[in-house]
Amino acid sequence: MATSRDDKKLTFRKFEEGDNTWDSWTDNIFDGDKSHKCPTYVHRTPPCQGSCPSGEDIRGWLDIVRGIEHPPKDVSMQEYAFRRLTDANPFPAMMGRVCPAPCQDACNRSEVEDYVGINAVEQYIGDTAFKESFKFAAGTALTGKKVAIIGGGPAGMAAAYQLRRRGIASTIFDDHDQLGGMMRYGIPNYRIPRDELDQECQRILDLGDIEFKANTRIGRDISVDELDKKFDAVLWALGCWIGRGLPLEGWDETPNCVSAVKFLEQFNKGKMHYTANRVLCVGGGDTSIDVVSVSRRIGTLKDYKENPEAVVNAEITHDEVDLSKKKGCDNVTLTALFPRDQMTAAEHEVNDALTEGVDILNEVMPVEIIRNAEGRATALRLVDAKWEGNGPVAVEGGKEYVIECDMIVSAIGQGGNMSGLEDYANERNLIDADKYYQVPKRPGHFVAGDIVRPHLLTTAIGQGSIAAESIENYLKHAELAKRPKVDKHHFSLLDKMKEAGLEPEPYTVGETRGTNSENFAIHNYEDRSRQEIISADHLFLGHFEYTERLLRGEDVPNAEQVLGHFEERMQGYSDEQAVAEAGRCMSCGMCFECDNCVIFCPQDAVFRVKKTEATLGRYVDTDYDKCIGCHICADVCPTGYIDMALGH
């Protein structure tokens, strides 16, 4: 059974199935003093942050945008939100556009009506930083130590950023012309605007003492021994640039069977301006969506005569071609093993591809490359399939499909290019890492990003941050402390109070009793953010009204419009839209100053602190002489910030 305020829009469940009685607050009021417990204010990690591989303080910057947490004097809301967000992730404009947003999947607001548009607000913060040319605060004084970072993608750049904030210089080596890694060479420009990517990379370099060596490959141009002699530590953030081929007979020998990684790299380098007339991509993730969407946009030539793999393999390059000489590809097909609602690609990306004229065939697997006398692929044979055990199996009695094509693109995964670095490669052609992102049995060597395990861009950013912390401890000869259970960039109430000029006084009184009126500690407050993620059952969901998510606008061309359409797809929020959507955040695990506890307390035991002493997380306090332990403040707290714990 479910209910809502207007009986038309379902929100949250008032009670579980079979539980049809309401708790009695009257009993709590009159018998509450038997509990011997009073309120304590407990800070926990919200599930959005708990699910963010970068570890962003998402609730924190949403509370800043909505106006719950106030910036210091002479700092705008937008810049303060930018500072909080980039404590973990230096690429807000990029991640706000292309991150698949596991934070949104975890959002407790879904128990009311729909998740908060976290990505959209993040894009707003990143776009504002671009328009206003926000800069990072200067790093601490240099320690004299220097780190070699191999790879200028999200992991390497995030590590360089975090190291410089700690006073550690670095040199980034990359075998491409420009920084950005897969953000630049793996994702099309209509999803990631290059001017904003350029600025987000330059903003990191502007911190100073971060050098960039382009077109330089370690193991070819510079040896590992040279690195070890010149640098105090090495971070391997190579990324994965070798696409996996389909596990079919003849794949490697068939010239027009290519990897999605190579296909997208050549397009993003500006070397490929058209493609084959019939393109077939096997995948199901975001990379495969990019392949087919790019194919629909660049189309083919009306008099196309070349072998399509020649440009993918960098044997030739294309000049820009007038649109009048092009036509749309006759057929662009994507095949996926899983049902459409289980594809790993973002749902809106799949829907956009369909709108653009891509054919998607689900729950199939390839079984044979059909080739002509010259050994070129002319079609791919597939069968109905399902996932069973540890792999796909053909459905008994299922259908068979033969899809004719001029080029087959594999987007089923990728691995590392360990040429010249074979001593560091494991059996999967990746690099092993321990929980601190150290390379086992290689002192002074660390690793982060896809070369550990191919995953999300945001995962690489998070690993780069942890690796930077581990490198700092290594260079200080400090013991590597146990990582927290919830390993994120956490809000600190003490830091916030210091920022507001409310830090506790020095402790000088010695052992004493009755200290709740003293100002040498933060009283009746507990920080469990490093141990606990707060779930929806801790919240009072009845506080929240049904409020629809504010969707970003999208510029998605249809099949007739898509040829030559490279305008940015995702349209950002205005100031008003960003504030409104951030206002849907339920601030799980942190007070958002709703006054419920003050209003409903029958003993007037819960009270607002003086305005001159208030800041985020210190809005209310408790008079323990009045509190009878009735639990009502905890029951009506929307955010789960109040626990009944302290004796009185």
Spatial separation of the C-alpha atoms in residues 465 and 460, rounded to whole Å: 9
pTM: 0.93
CA distance 534 to 243: 39
DSSP secondary structure string, 182-203?
HHHHTS-TTTS-HHHHHHHHHH
DSSP secondary structure string, 536-562? GGGS-GGGPPP----PPPB----TTT-
Residues of the chain with pLDDT under 70: 1-35, 646-648
SS3 state at 125: helix
How far, CA to CA in Å, does 146 sit from each of 231, 232, 460?
Answer: 6, 6, 21
Give me the DSSP letters along 460-511: HHHHHHHHHHHHHHHHTT---PPPPSS-S----HHHHHHHTT-PPPP--S-S
Class (C level, CATH) for 245-412 = alpha beta
- Contact (CB, 8 A) for 56 and 462: no
> Residue 315 in 3-state DSSP?
coil
Q: Within 13 Å and on the Cβ side, how many CA atoms surround 230?
A: 11
CATH of domain 146-241+416-475: 3.50.50.60
Measure the CA–CA gap between 404 and 395, rounded to whole angstroms: 22
Q: Using alpha carbons, select from 150, 143, 53 the residue that is nearest to residue 445.
A: 150
Residues of the chain with CATH 3.50.50.60: 146-241+416-475, 245-412
Q: What is the pLDDT of residue 34?
A: 56
- Characterise 101 by phi-psi region: left (phi > 0), alpha (psi -120 to 50), beta (else): left
Structure tokens at 445: 């060597």
Structure tokens of 549?
Answer: 């998510």
Residues 6+ apart with CB under 8 A from 552: 117, 120, 123, 570, 571, 572, 573
Asked if residue 620 lies in contact with residue 507, where contact means CB atoms within 8 angstroms, the answer is no
In this predicted structure, what is the pLDDT of residue 7? 45
